[in-house]
Amino acid sequence: MNSRWHWRAQREKTAFLALADGTVFHGYSVGAPVDALGEVVFNTGMTGYQEILSDPSYSGQLVTMTCPEIGNTGINAADMESARLFANGFILHEMNAPHNWRSELSLEECLLRNAIPAIAGIDTRALTSKLRDQGTLKGYLVVSGKIAEPQAVRLAAEWGGLDGQDYAAKVTCKQPYRWDEQGKLSASWGIADSLPEADLKIVAYDFGIKWNILRSMRRNGMAVTVVPATTSADEVLALKPQGVFLSNGPADPAAVTYAIDSARQLLGKVPLMGICLGHQILGLAGGGRTLRLKFGHHGCNHPVKDLKTGRIEITSQNHNFTVDPQSLDPAKIEITHINLNDLTVEGIEHKHAPMFSVQYHPEASPGPHDPYYLFGRFRELIIRA
């Protein structure tokens, strides 16, 4: 296909993004021909759009990329973070055809196959500034041409949003499985033959877990059994794990009440580690509460300070809620990390039980590798317990 003709034809597929406050951004469709509601957020990463789209934590969200050129590296099977795309929709300034030796599929074709709508040709700088100043907004991405702008604005405003919503139950696995049996450590990663012995038995709660978290634990000698989000503490303990991991995931942590109860029952009985939603669940299980951030943390460049060592880590993050530091009992919970942009809580540990958690993503997919050591810390916590 002639690329010049193709992009001209794409621009004829008009689309618009209607926000709940009445603002409308016009562009053209570059994804699936379906409309979608969602919470509009912005991600400051310059790359890694494939990992972002396939991260279950983005379920319920319309993701805006602040980098203006998206699509250059295409899509490949090795970089997926789950079996499919989870974002409700994709918002970008310009979609490019892939020009990369690792590309197996164009971004546009991947969006079509996964029934994910996308809009390009809009001023993503203006949209990002609006979200930064006003906070996260509900939106309706219309690419079908079947809904008028006033109706789309009304539907966006009436949508229930993500507050109080349990999306972990929507994205979790249906049955337990052993990670090593899934064949995800493919030869393309060049690590299958150099893995250490898996001498620690871990159970990982799947609230929307990313594959690179599982890869990272396996690289640290952990044999991981992944279980559904609703698995009870008794069922987990019956598997006789040496450690339990609570994964990342989407939406409101306070709505995942069954997971909070399970974490509370597991605390003190087995070493625990949490990431992102798992961190928030552990904070709630420890007696704290969570709050919604104005526009969330979404990107690969968030500076976090380790309060124990003074070390600064550049981190990858994706969350809209945070643990309220005022709600934590200092006799039980110690704040170990803070975000240097807004001083929000980025890490906690229990003073009397083997438990720690971080708000950011040490597996960094996409993102920097500064916090990767935390998987080794989990291993040491288990060995010492």
Indicate which residue of 276, 300, 319, 350 is catalytic: 276
- Concerning whether 276 is annotated as a catalytic residue, the answer is yes
Q: How far, in whole angstroms, is CA 132 from its chain's centroid?
A: 19
Whether residue 201 contacts residue 223, with contact meaning beta carbons closer than 8 Å, is answered with yes
Do the Cβ atoms of 46 and 68 come closer than 8 Å? no
Q: What whole-number distance in Å separates Cα of residue 162 and Cα of residue 135?
A: 14
In angstroms, the CA 66 to CA 46 distance is 8
Contact between 111 and 13 under an 8 Å Cβ cutoff? The reply is no
Tell me the β-bridge partners of 238: none
Of 179, 185, 184, the residue nearest 201 (C-alpha): 179
- What are 195's two structure tokens? 């893995």
Look up 361 and say whether it is catalytic. Answer: yes
CA distance 358 to 268: 18
CA 69 to CA 293: how far, in whole Å? 27
Largest CA distance in the chain: 66
* Contact call for residues 103 and 76 (beta carbons, < 8 A): yes
Task: Evaluate whether 139 touches 127 at the Cβ level (below 8 Å).
Answer: no
337: annotated active-site residue? no
Q: Which residue has the tokens 């939406």?
A: 251
CA distance 362 to 273: 12
Catalytic residue of the set 51, 81, 108, 363:
363
Phi, psi of 304 (to 5 degrees): -125, 135
Q: Catalytic residue positions?
A: 276, 361, 363
